[in-house]
Structure 1
């Protein structure tokens, strides 16, 4: 099953399994003499129906990063569209789970286990309504808030939360709008432009993660992101919908 992909990556991949113990994670990482891959995962829903919606910005991030590095995302691997390549001499694995959002962990968990990655070499990109539209936040660990995709990933990591996150702000629903409908709508023109700009910034952040590590990348990138789009008018621009009829399902 591993085929040519495993043959190419085998010299770089540690033989240790990821652990549910933070102590084991740290010792595993520090004792590795070979370069371990990074696994970058974007969360979203498959299918044309969900393209360009707020809930799919994780997919958009991985697509843009793959394009920038010349990595193809056409292989199906562990219920995900998958690609692999080298970034600054470091092996990088990219995945877009095709399980639908709420079951994302069914893909991400087995992928990390298969490549025997410690969770501090896994980063998940996803939409976040607690951040203003177009603001990014890089974190080495955390909870799942109201995000069912991240909740599923945590569950399939045996409830371990010690993996990286790139949160992509999409803003909060306006007025009394149902959050479930909000995330499944498409951005208006201004919101889309802001998200596209943020995703370009996210590509540079991911490259920094590869070269400097997650902690150092977070220190620099989070400071730059902190004061973006603070005015009420700016926040409202991303909250306005380009569609008049929201989706009724929540995935």
Structure 2
């Protein structure tokens, strides 16, 4: 049985755990698709910490461990994306965690592929998984997010079809690099906090996008010339 935290825990207390959650859809059918990049990020983070997500808790695959001296909980809801809150809400309530100790990883079509963005709070932006999470917290939006850029669907492609596609070779390379970058910065969150990490990390990611765009244009020109 997992230990229940004391009701005397406060956010200033370093012993209060962080809950990191990756959003996605369970099952092999959805593995590797754009909409499941939240699952991939939590897996990359778990692997970097040596934490196994093998327990089932509050309708989620669950693991726990430490980042340095800071306790962390990691979870992958198994409710399907649009019902993610049915897992995350009860999980945070079980451990009596304040929302500023919760971070959710999710795909984001508003960011270029492979670009990451740390955010302290916000709305759902029509992301049904995030909307479910917000609803589970009684419409409270005061939890952090790691937004993972997957880019926009090409032309007139249906966004729903785009989300359920797998990445092409170039996009996959960018995503794999982003997973490593994400796992690295997430290790700093418990000690440095979201605000401080977002200050420098988001700036680096912005410049990475500029460099990536330049490289991509050069690749197109090289391909054209050859």
**TM-score normalised per structure 2:** 0.91
Q: Which residue of 2 aligns with 1:97?
A: 77
Note if 1:52 corresponds to 2:52: no
Residue 29 of structure 1, CA deviation: 2.4
What is the CA deviation profile of residues 71-102 of structure 1, one whole-angstrom value per residue up to 9, with x for unaligned ones? 01010100000000011100000000000000
User: Which of 47, 52, 64 is 1:84 aligned to?
Assistant: 64
Q: Which residue of 1 aligns with 2:11?
A: 29
Structure 2 Cα separation of the partners of residues 87 and 209 of structure 1: 9
What is the CA deviation profile of residues 115-139 of structure 1, one whole-angstrom value per residue up to 9, with x for unaligned ones? 0000000000000000000000001
Structure 1 Cα separation of the partners of residues 59 and 8 of structure 2: 23
Note if 1:42 corresponds to 2:22: yes
RMSD: 1.8
**TM-score normalised per structure 1:** 0.82
Note if 1:124 corresponds to 2:95: no
Divergent runs of 4+, >3 A: 232-235
Q: Give the direction of change, closer, same or farther, for the CA distance of 1:126–1:212 in structure 2 (3 Å limit).
A: same
Structure 2 Cα separation of the partners of residues 51 and 203 of structure 1: 19
Residue 35 of structure 1, CA deviation: 1.4
Note the 1:145-160 alignment, pairs <5 A: 145-160=125-140
Q: Partner of 2:171: helix, strand, or coil?
A: helix
Q: Which residue of 2 aligns with 1:134?
A: 114
Contact 1:16 1:116 in 2 (8 A): no
Aligned residues: 216
What is the CA deviation profile of residues 3-33 of structure 1, one whole-angstrom value per residue up to 9, with x for unaligned ones? 1x31xxx5xx45159xxxxxxxxxx524x4x
Contact 1:14 1:117 in 2 (8 A): no
Q: Which runs of 5+ in 1 are unaligned?
A: 18-27, 238-251
Q: Give the direction of change, closer, same or farther, for the CA distance of 1:57–1:171 in structure 2 (3 Å limit).
A: same
Structure 1 Cα separation of the partners of residues 216 and 70 of structure 2: 38
